[in-house]
Every structure is written in structure tokens, then in C-alpha cells.
Amino acid sequence: MIEAVIFDLDGVLIDSEQTWNSAREQLVRERGGTWREEATREMMGMSSPEWSRYMRDSLGVDMEPEEIAAEVVRRMEALYREHLPIVDGARDAVAALSAHWRLGLASSANRRLIELVLELAGMREHFAAAVSAEEMAHGKPAPDVYLEAARRIGVQPGLCAAVEDSTNGLRAAASAGMLVIAVPNREFPPTEEAVALAEVVLESLDQLRPELLLRLGRRAR
């Protein structure tokens, strides 16, 4: 049985991984660091304190982590206000599911960016709670952000479905004991091992309809 659905944000509702990648890479190069091809994958799912320390310690950005995070978020806000890269089908999926279940958001993005995206996308009213990994002790793949989202909406984790796109996100949702729905990121696809944790794998959010959740809920009884 499913009583709530918890969404990831980046890569699921907004096609933002390339935007994050550009903002971070630009700052690394401007501040004398060395960008690495694997950096994007390694930072996916990290909380703000985690990825800002990674940028300083592993990529050589000569700034304090708090300064790094603030500057990246500032650049992201500007890019979102110019153009919000919302995923096709995201608004329809959120609206359709919210008519049947309580919705939560479990994101690695900073709180300011979460609130901005929900405002610009016109989705805020659909979510009972939104949690940022920067509020948790550990980012994804730890389950903290998913467990907190379930707590805030008042539903046991085992009665929640989680919608994820990345390796660390899929692992986090599975570790939280949730029924996992994978919508794999096309630019930065998750590992086969992570995808195997999902109950179902979708090609797009157009397939995420109430009928699917009802079938999955009956199967999980």
C-alpha cells in the first residue's frame, strides 16, 4: 500500500544537472582549480556542505566551503530566473498524484533553490513538505533526507514511494525502505546496480500516473 509519494528534484522534476555542472565548473576554473570529468557524478546527491568541501579539497577552489556554496547558489538562482528547465510532464505528474496522495520532496539542493523552483514552477501547493539535504547530517546515498521527508508528512517510510533518477538517489530511497521508482537520468545515467533497486523503471514522467502507483501499491501488500 502506498500512502505518500516523495520526489527528488534535480534530474526528476527539473533538468538541472547540466546547470549545476556549468555553475560549478565555471567557478572552479575561475578560482584556479582543476575540473575533472568525474566531478559531476561524484557530487550528485551530496548536500551543500559536502559538495562545497569537495570543490575546495578535491577540485582546488581557493575559497571556504561556505563561500563556494553561496556563490554556486547565487549563480543557480540567476540561471533559474532566466530559464527554469522543468522536465516535460513534471507539472502534470505532480498535479495528478497530489490528487490521490500526500507528496513530499527530498532534494540535495539548497533550501533557497528548492523554494525558488517550486515557486517558479507553480508546484508549491502540491507538496506537504520539502526537505533539503543541507538540513541533514548526511546527503544521499544516506537515507536521511528521505526519512525526514516521510516524518514531516506523517507517513511511515515503508508506505512511501520515492521517485529518483541518480545512483545516489536510488540508493538513498532504497535505504530508507521506500518503494523505489526510477526515471534514469539520460545525461548521467545511474549504475545498473542502483537501477536494480527500483520496483519499476520509467522512461519519462509521462508514465508516472495514478494507475501505476495503485498497481504498485497492490503488488507491495
| Identified catalytic residue from 10, 15, 144, 165 | 10
Query: Catalytic annotation on 57?
Result: no
Preceding amide of 141 cis, omega within 30: yes
Looking at residue 14, the DSSP 8-state letter turns out to be: B
CB atoms within 10 A of CB 81: 10
Mark out the alpha helices in the chain (DSSP H runs): 17-30, 39-43, 48-57, 65-82, 90-98, 111-121, 144-153, 167-175, 192-195, 210-219
Cell of 162: 520515492
> What Cα–Cα distance (Å) separates residue 138 from each residue in 83, 133, 195?
30, 7, 22
Query: Catalytic annotation on 8?
Result: yes
| Identified catalytic residue from 8, 15, 144, 165 | 8
- Residues designated catalytic: 8, 10
